[in-house]
C-alpha cells in the first residue's frame, strides 16, 4: 500500500512500498482448466501483468469465448462473485462490476457483446495498472489496478437528519431576582434598599413573548437619595424558523454589526439568519485533506499531536472533509495504515477562522425601528427612527465579503469590507464606510491582521475617521476618534510559561491622545497552581503605572484559594480569598476574603445555596468606614398543564412530564435525576437544550414493582425557551393467575385472547385455561375472545399478600361454543 499525495497540498514524510500481485511476464490463460476431481491435478494459479496499451479493438465473437464464475478481490478487498468472460487470454467484466468496484472506465475503451447471456463486457486490460492472479482451485481472481482509477471517497460530517421540533406546550413563566442590602457608615447615613428584577414570559406555537422589569428602592428609604421606582426594561417577541435558520424579533433588541458598524439598542423589528437554530452547523470553511490509497486502509487524524478521529477508506483517492470544529491554526498529521500494518504519514498546517464564511454561504440581518434611550432609567424613551441591514457572503473559502447600510431622516451611512486568508496563515480584514447628511459627509477606514498558532498569536487593528463621519447610535455633537490602533502578541512555551505584550493608542480631533503599553506573564507552579503577573503603563498623553500579581491554588472538593497583589494610582492591594462553588454533589458554596484594598483593611464573606427551586445568597463585608449586608434570592415559576411549578430561573427550554399517577418518581435528563414527580405524577424538567434531542429518562428503581411501562426514556426536541409535554403511560394494578372454563365445563382454549374491560392491553390463554393478567384492580370485568366469539366474566381480587401471586378460579365465561 502506498499513498500518492496531490501536490501542493501535502508534504510526504514517509511512503510505504506498494505490493505487486503476479509475475512480470505475459502468459495466456489455458485453453482448458484442470479438472478439480482429477486426483492427478494440482491447483493452477496463473499470474499476469498487462499494461493499458494492450487494449486493442476486441475481435468478433468466437466459439472459444468462455464465462468464468469467479470470486473477485480488488486491490485486496472483496469485490463479490461475478461472471467474467475470457477471450484469447483476456478477461472481460460487465459494467455493473466496474461500478461496484468503483473503477472508472477510460473514455476510449471499447466493449464486446456476448450473445449467450445478452450482456456487454469491457476488457480489464484497458484499466491502468491492471494485474491479475487467477486461482482455478478456489475459483477466485485477485485484481490490482492503479489507485488513480478508483472513484474518489469523500469523508463528510454525518448530515443531521431533519430535526422535527416537538410540539410546543403552551406555558407561562416568571423569573425573579430579589436583592436586599443594608449599609452602615461610620461617618455618614445608614440606608436600606430592596430591589427586584422580574421577567414574565409566555410561549406557544407562535413564538415566545418576554417582558422584564426592574424595581428599585422598594422599601422607600430616602436616605440614599433614590426614590421608589418600577421600570420596564425590555419587551420582545421571538419567532424562530429552524428549517430556514432564520429568526424574527419584534420589540426591544440590538442590531447586528459588520466589520465597521456599532451595536445599538432599539425597539422595532429584526429578521435575519440564525445558524444557532441548527446545533452543530459549521459556518466557517473546513480544510479538506486528500490522498490516494492503494488498498483499504485506516486513517488516524492527529491535530496538534492529539488524536481527534479515526476513519476507514477504500482503495483510491480520498478526501477528508469532516475536519473537527476548531479555530485558529495548527498542524494536522494523518497516519494511513493498510490491512498489513504498513504506514504512511502525512503532515499539513491548517488555518480556520470563525470570521470567514464557507463558500456560497450568506449571513444577513435587516432591522427597522427607533433607537432606545435611557434603558433602565426610563420606561419608553425612544429616539429617531432608522433602517439598517448587514450582509456577509462567503465568496470563496478564503474570502468573505461584508456590507452594511444605515439610514435615518438625517443620516445615511454605507460601507463594505472583507475578510481574507493571507499567506503565512494570517487573517486580513479591511473595510471602508462613508456617511452623509444634509450639510456634511465623512469617511471611516479599518485594517486588521490576525495570526494564531498553537504556541503564539498576534493581532493588529488600526482604524481612522474624518471629523464629519457619523454612524447609527453616535451623537451628532460627538466627533469620532481620529485614529486608534491596538496590537498584541503572545507566546506560550512548553515549560517556561506564557508571555504577552500589548500596545494601544488613540487620538481625537481636539489634539488629545493617549498611548499605553502592557505586558503579562503566566506560569504553572507545581502540578495545579498558576501564577499570573501583569503590568501596564501610560507612555504618552497620561501618566500612570499598574502592576499586579495573581496566584491561583486549586484544592480538592471544588475549592480554590488565591492571593492578589496590585499597585495602581498610588493605592496598594494585598488580599487572599478562598471559595467553594456549589456543585451537583454539594448544594452549598461559600466565599471568604481578607486583606487590604484601596489602602484600607477589608474582610468579606458569603454563603450560596443552589437548590431545586432556586438559589439563595448572603454576603457581608466590613472595612474601616463601611459595613454592608446583602441578601438575595432568585428562581422561577412555571404554569403549564394547569400545574404550577417552582424551579430555578427559566433561561432555557423545559419539559412537563407525566408518569401515570405515581408520585416521587425520579426523572431527569439522561442519567441525571433532576427532580421528582408530585402527587399527580407530574414533574418539571428544566435546562433542556433548544433544537437538540434531549433524553428524558425515569429512574426505574423508583417505580412500584407492579407498574408496567413500555419505555423509561423518551427523546424530545424543544423550541427556544418553550415547554414540551412528555407522557410516560404506566399501567398499574396487580397481577393474578386466572383459571377460565367455558359453557361446556371445558377449559378455555389455548391462544384465546383476554383483556380487562377498558384496557387496551391483551393477554393470551395458555394451556389448561390458565392466563396471567396484570393491571387488575379489586373488582374487574374481563373479556375473552375466541374465533369471533366473546364472553364476559367478573374477577374479584382477594386482599393483597406480600410475596404471593393471587390465583382465581375456575371462573366461568359463558357465551362461547367450540
Tens-digit pLDDT profile for residues 20-44: 333 233 334 444 444 333 333 334 4
Range with top average pLDDT, 506-515, 642-651, 662-671: 642-651
Is the confidence at residue 108, as pLDDT, over 90? Answer: no
Taking only the tens place, the pLDDT of each residue in 617-641 is 999 999 888 899 999 999 999 999 8
Q: In whole angstroms, how large is the CA radius of gyration of the chain? A: 38
Minimum mean pLDDT among 114-128, 384-398, 551-565: which range?
114-128
Q: What DSSP character marks residue 768?
A: G
CATH level 2 (architecture), domain 31-150: Roll (3.10)
Is residue 126 packed enough to be buried (19+ CB in 10 Å), middle (13-18) or exposed (0-12)? buried
State the Cα–Cα distance between residues 17 and 240, nearest whole angstrom.
56
Mean pLDDT of 453-475: 88
Q: What is the grid cell recorded at 702?
A: 423508583
Is the confidence at residue 209, as pLDDT, over 80? Answer: yes
State the Cα–Cα distance between residues 564 and 533, nearest whole angstrom.
10
pLDDT cut 70: percent of the chain above it: 89
Closest CA to 423 of 329, 301, 505, 342: 329
Q: Give the pLDDT of residue 51.
A: 47
**H-helix or E-strand spanning residue 630:** strand 626-640
- In the chain, which residues fall in CATH 2.60.40.3110? 289-352
CB count within 10 Å of CB 815 equals 12
String of DSSP letters for 322-335: ------EEEEEEEE
Closest CA to 143 of 202, 180, 115, 103: 103
- In the chain, which residues fall in CATH 2.60.40.2610? 641-731
3-state secondary structure of 702: helix
CB 52 within 8 A of CB 37: no
Instruction: Give the global pTM.
Output: 0.76
- In the chain, which residues fall in CATH 3.10.20.410? 31-150
Phi and psi for 624 in degrees, rounded to 5? Answer: -65, -35
Minimum mean pLDDT among 152-156, 166-170, 794-798: which range?
152-156
Mean pLDDT of 474-490: 86
Closest CA to 82 of 95, 69, 91: 69
Q: Give the pLDDT of residue 323.
A: 65
Q: Which residue's C-alpha cell is 477510460?
A: 106
Cβ neighbors of 445 (< 8 A, separation 6 or more) are 430, 431, 432, 433, 463, 464, 465
Is residue 595 packed enough to be buried (19+ CB in 10 Å), middle (13-18) or exposed (0-12)? middle
3-state secondary structure of 543: coil
- In the chain, which residues fall in CATH 2.60.40.2070? 734-812
Is the confidence at residue 522, as pLDDT, over 50? Answer: yes
Q: Are strands 112-114 and 119-123 parallel, antiparallel or unpaired?
A: antiparallel
Instruction: Give the pLDDT band (50/70/90) at residue 195.
Output: very high
Closest CA to 739 of 761, 772, 762, 706: 772
| Alpha-carbon distances, residue 502 vs 458, 489, 566 (angstroms) | 10, 7, 19
3-state secondary structure of 98: helix
3-state secondary structure of 53: helix
Instruction: Give the pLDDT band (50/70/90) at residue 250.
Output: very high
Mean pLDDT of 695-707: 84
Taking only the tens place, the pLDDT of each residue in 784-796 is 998 888 999 999 9
Q: What DSSP character marks residue 100?
A: H
Mean pLDDT of 590-617: 92
Q: 745: alpha, beta or left, given left = phi > 0 and alpha = psi -120 to 50?
A: left
Mean pLDDT of 174-194: 88
CATH topology of domain 734-812: Immunoglobulin-like (2.60.40)
State the Cα–Cα distance between residues 232 and 246, nearest whole angstrom.
28
Is the confidence at residue 52, as pLDDT, over 60? Answer: no
Preceding omega of 87 cis (within 30 degrees of 0): no
Q: What are residue 437's DSSP bridge partners?
A: none
Superfamily of domain 641-731: Outer membrane usher protein FimD, plug domain (2.60.40.2610)
3-state secondary structure of 650: coil
CB 588 within 8 A of CB 562: no
- Mean pLDDT, the chain, rounded, equals 84
Range with top average pLDDT, 36-50, 276-290, 587-601: 587-601
Taking only the tens place, the pLDDT of each residue in 364-411 is 999 999 999 888 888 889 988 999 999 999 999 999 999 999 999 888
State the Cα–Cα distance between residues 485 and 516, nearest whole angstrom.
11
Closest CA to 375 of 264, 269, 474, 477: 264
Mean pLDDT of 147-159: 72
As a whole number of angstroms, the longest Cα–Cα distance in the chain is 119
Minimum mean pLDDT among 255-269, 320-334, 393-407: which range?
320-334
pLDDT cut 90: percent of the chain above it: 41
Closest CA to 749 of 732, 770, 728, 719: 770
State the Cα–Cα distance between residues 416 and 403, nearest whole angstrom.
4
- The CATH classification number of 289-352 equals 2.60.40.3110
Phi and psi for 613 in degrees, rounded to 5? Answer: -105, 5
Q: What is the grid cell recorded at 181?
A: 442590602
Taking only the tens place, the pLDDT of each residue in 758-770 is 888 889 999 889 9
Is the confidence at residue 712, as pLDDT, over 90? Answer: no
CB 351 within 8 A of CB 322: no
Q: Are strands 265-273 and 588-597 parallel, antiparallel or unpaired?
A: unpaired
Mean pLDDT of 574-579: 94
3-state secondary structure of 14: coil
Amino acid at each position: 500500500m502506498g499513498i500518492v499525495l496531490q501536490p501542493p497540498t501535502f508534504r510526504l514524510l514517509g511512503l510505504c512500498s506498494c505490493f505487486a500481485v503476479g509475475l512480470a511476464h505475459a502468459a495466456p490463460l489455458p485453453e482448458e482448466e484442470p479438472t478439480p476431481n482429477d486426483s492427478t491435478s494440482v491447483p493452477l494459479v496463473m499470474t499476469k501483468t498487462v499494461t493499458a496499451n494492450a487494449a486493442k479493438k476486441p475481435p468478433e465473437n468466437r466459439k472459444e469465448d468462455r464465462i468464468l464464475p469467479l470470486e473477485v478481490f480488488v486491490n485486496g478487498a472483496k469485490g463479490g462473485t461475478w461472471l467474467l468472460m475470457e477471450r484469447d487470454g483476456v478477461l472481460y467484466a460487465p459494467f455493473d462490476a466496474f461500478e461496484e468496484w468503483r473503477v472508472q472506465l477510460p473514455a476510449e475503451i471499447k466493449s464486446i457483446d456476448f450473445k449467450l447471456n445478452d450482456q456487454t463486457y469491457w476488457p480489464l486490460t484497458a484499466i491502468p495498472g491492471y494485474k491479475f492472479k487467477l486461482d482455478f482451485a478456489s475459483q477466485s481472481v485477485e485484481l490490482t489496478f492503479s489507485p488513480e482509477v478508483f472513484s474518489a471517497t469523500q469523508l463528510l460530517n454525518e448530515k443531521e437528519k431533519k430535526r422535527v421540533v416537538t410540539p410546543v406546550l403552551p406555558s407561562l413563566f416568571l423569573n425573579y431576582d430579589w436583592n436586599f442590602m443594608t449599609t452602615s457608615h461610620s461617618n455618614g447615613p445608614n440606608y436600606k434598599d430592596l430591589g427586584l428584577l422580574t421577567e414574565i414570559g409566555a410561549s406557544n406555537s407562535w413564538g415566545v413573548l418576554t417582558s422584564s422589569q426592574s424595581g428599585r428602592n422598594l422599601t422607600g428609604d430616602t436616605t440614599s437619595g433614590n426614590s421608589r421606582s418600577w421600570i420596564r426594561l425590555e419587551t420582545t417577541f421571538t419567532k424562530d424558523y429552524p428549517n430556514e435558520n432564520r429568526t424574527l424579533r419584534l420589540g426591544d433588541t440590538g442590531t447586528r454589526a459588520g466589520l465597521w458598524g456599532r451595536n445599538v439598542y432599539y425597539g422595532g423589528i429584526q429578521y435575519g439568519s440564525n445558524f444557532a437554530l441548527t446545533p452543530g452547523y459549521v459556518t466557517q470553511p473546513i480544510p479538506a485533506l486528500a490522498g490516494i490509497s492503494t488498498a483499504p486502509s485506516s486513517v488516524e487524524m492527529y491535530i496538534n499531536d492529539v488524536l481527534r478521529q479515526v476513519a476507514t477508506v477504500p482503495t483510491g483517492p480520498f478526501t477528508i472533509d469532516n475536519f473537527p470544529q476548531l479555530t485558529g491554526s495548527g498542524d494536522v498529521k494523518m497516519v494511513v495504515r493498510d490491512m498489513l500494518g504498513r504506514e504512511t504519514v502525512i503532515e499539513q498546517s491548517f488555518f480556520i477562522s470563525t470570521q470567514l464564511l464557507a463558500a456560497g454561504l450568506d449571513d444577513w440581518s435587516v432591522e427597522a425601528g427607533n433607537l432606545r434611550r435611557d434603558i433602565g432609567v426610563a420606561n419608553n424613551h425612544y429616539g429617531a427612527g432608522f433602517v439598517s441591514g448587514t450582509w456577509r457572503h462567503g465568496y470563496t473559502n478564503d474570502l468573505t465579503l461584508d456590507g452594511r447600510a444605515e439610514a435615518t431622516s438625517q443620516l445615511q451611512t454605507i460601507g463594505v469590507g472583507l475578510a481574507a486568508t493571507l499567506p503565512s496563515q494570517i487573517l486580513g480584514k479591511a473595510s471602508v464606510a462613508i456617511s452623509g447628511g444634509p450639510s456634511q459627509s465623512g469617511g471611516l477606514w479599518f485594517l486588521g491582521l490576525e495570526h494564531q498558532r498553537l504556541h503564539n498569536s498576534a493581532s493588529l487593528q488600526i482604524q481612522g475617521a474624518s471629523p464629519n463621519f457619523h454612524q447609527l447610535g453616535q451623537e451628532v455633537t460627538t466627533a469620532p476618534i481620529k485614529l486608534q490602533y491596538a496590537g498584541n502578541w503572545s507566546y506560550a512555551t512548553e515549560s517556561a510559561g506564557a508571555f504577552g505584550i500589548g500596545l494601544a493608542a488613540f487620538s481625537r480631533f481636539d489634539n488629545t491622545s493617549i498611548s499605553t503599553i502592557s505586558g503579562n506573564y503566566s506560569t504553572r507552579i507545581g502540578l495545579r497552581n498558576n501564577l499570573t503577573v501583569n503590568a501596564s503603563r501610560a507612555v504618552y498623553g497620561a501618566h500612570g503605572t499598574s502592576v499586579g500579581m495573581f496566584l491561583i491554588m486549586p484544592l480538592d472538593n471544588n475549592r480554590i484559594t488565591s492571593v492578589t497583589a496590585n499597585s495602581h494610582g498610588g493605592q496598594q492591594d494585598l488580599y487572599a480569598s478562598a471559595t467553594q462553588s456549589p456543585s451537583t454533589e454539594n448544594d452549598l458554596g461559600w466565599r471568604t476574603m481578607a486583606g487590604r484594598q484601596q489602602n484600607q483593611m477589608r474582610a468579606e464573606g458569603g454563603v450560596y445555596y443552589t437548590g431545586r427551586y432556586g438559589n439563595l445568597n448572603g454576603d457581608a463585608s466590613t472595612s474601616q468606614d463601611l459595613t454592608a449586608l446583602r441578601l438575595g434570592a432568585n428562581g422561577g415559576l412555571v404554569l403549564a398543564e394547569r400545574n404550577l411549578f417552582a424551579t430555578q430561573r427559566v433561561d432555557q427550554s423545559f419539559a412537563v412530564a407525566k408518569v401515570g399517577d405515581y408520585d416521587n418518581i425520579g426523572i431527569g435528563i439522561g442519567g441525571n435525576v433532576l427532580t421528582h414527580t408530585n402527587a399527580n405524577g407530574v414533574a418539571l424538567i428544566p435546562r433542556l437544550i433548544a433544537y437538540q434531542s434531549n433524553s428524558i429518562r425515569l429512574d426505574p428503581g423508583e417505580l412500584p414493582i407492579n407498574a408496567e411501562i413500555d419505555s423509561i426514556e423518551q427523546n424530545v426536541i424543544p423550541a427556544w425557551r418553550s415547554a414540551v409535554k412528555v407522557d410516560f403511560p404506566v399501567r398499574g394494578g396487580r397481577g393474578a393467575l386466572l383459571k377460565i372454563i367455558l359453557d361446556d365445563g371445558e377449559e378455555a382454549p389455548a391462544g384465546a385472547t383476554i383483556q380487562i374491560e377498558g384496557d387496551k392491553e391483551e393477554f393470551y390463554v395458555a394451556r389448561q385455561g390458565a392466563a396471567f393478567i396484570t393491571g387488575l384492580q379489586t373488582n374487574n370485568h374481563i373479556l375473552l375472545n375466541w374465533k369471533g366469539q366473546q364472553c364476559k366474566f367478573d374477577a374479584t381480587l382477594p386482599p393483597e399478600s406480600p410475596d404471593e401471586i393471587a390465583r382465581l378460579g375456575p371462573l366461568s365465561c359463558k357465551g362461547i361454543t367450540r
